[in-house]
Amino acid sequence: MAKGFSAATLQPLTDAELDRLAEFLESEAAPEESMDLSMLHGFLTALLLYPKSPDAGEWLPQVWGDNGERPRYASAAEQNDIEDLILRLYNQLADELASEEAFEPMLYLDEERNLDITRPWCYGFTLGVGLAGDAWADALDDEDLAPLLSPLFDCADDEAREEMGGDEEELARFEHEVAQLLPEAIPALRAWWIDQIPPIALQPRRPGRRH
């Protein structure tokens, strides 16, 4: 079941609404450091994998960058519209992660090479992980998860990409390979986090008094 907010934020986004959100995120009204749609999707994915996902009031400002800037909305109605679209995407993704359907990241496509562009999504994912502080430390150290997480972080990191020593074509193919990994990695990470939730201890029932 999707997380919280009002009933108006529980409806999945239509293609037209996704386009509307994508256009605003990359418009002049949004701060220069704002996430694009793919980055936002990666960011929200990381937030939702962590069982103690922060409140919207904590993570929503991060969508616009970490320097405190805010969008220049044309009106209060536009602000409500855009924020509702973001919250609906959050809830839509929560439902998708909880379902049995294959995970599908929102990625851009390099039409010339016909390869997925995964770096924005991975960068957003790392920002979401960072928002949880040290909570992901055990996951990052887990020997079963490391082969799944390391490529995501390497894809987003400038130094890691430089150390690969590949040319532009090789890096593009690496991003495409990371995209192929995500449908396996994200459900595995979700399952790992679910296993970390301590079971609820049942209190023993006291025997009733006999009369």
Quote the domain boundaries for residue 142: 9-194
| CATH number where 32 lies | 1.20.120.740
- Predicted local confidence at residue 1, as pLDDT: 32
Is the residue at 210 inside a domain?
Answer: no
Is the residue at 211 inside a domain?
Answer: no
Structure confidence by residue, pLDDT tens digits, 145-158: 989 999 999 999 99
Is the residue at 204 inside a domain?
Answer: no
Is the residue at 101 inside a domain?
Answer: yes
Number of structural domains in the chain: 1
d(CA 120, CA 42): 8
- Predicted local confidence at residue 155, as pLDDT: 96
Is the pTM higher than 0.85? The answer reads yes
Q: Which residues of the chain have pLDDT under 50?
A: 1-8, 201-202, 207-211
Is the residue at 87 inside a domain?
Answer: yes
Structure token digits, residue 205 = 């029932």
Looking up tokens 């992660």, which residue turns up?
97
Is the residue at 82 inside a domain?
Answer: yes
Is the residue at 32 inside a domain?
Answer: yes
- Predicted local confidence at residue 5, as pLDDT: 40
- Predicted local confidence at residue 10, as pLDDT: 57
- Predicted local confidence at residue 165, as pLDDT: 77
Is the residue at 209 inside a domain?
Answer: no
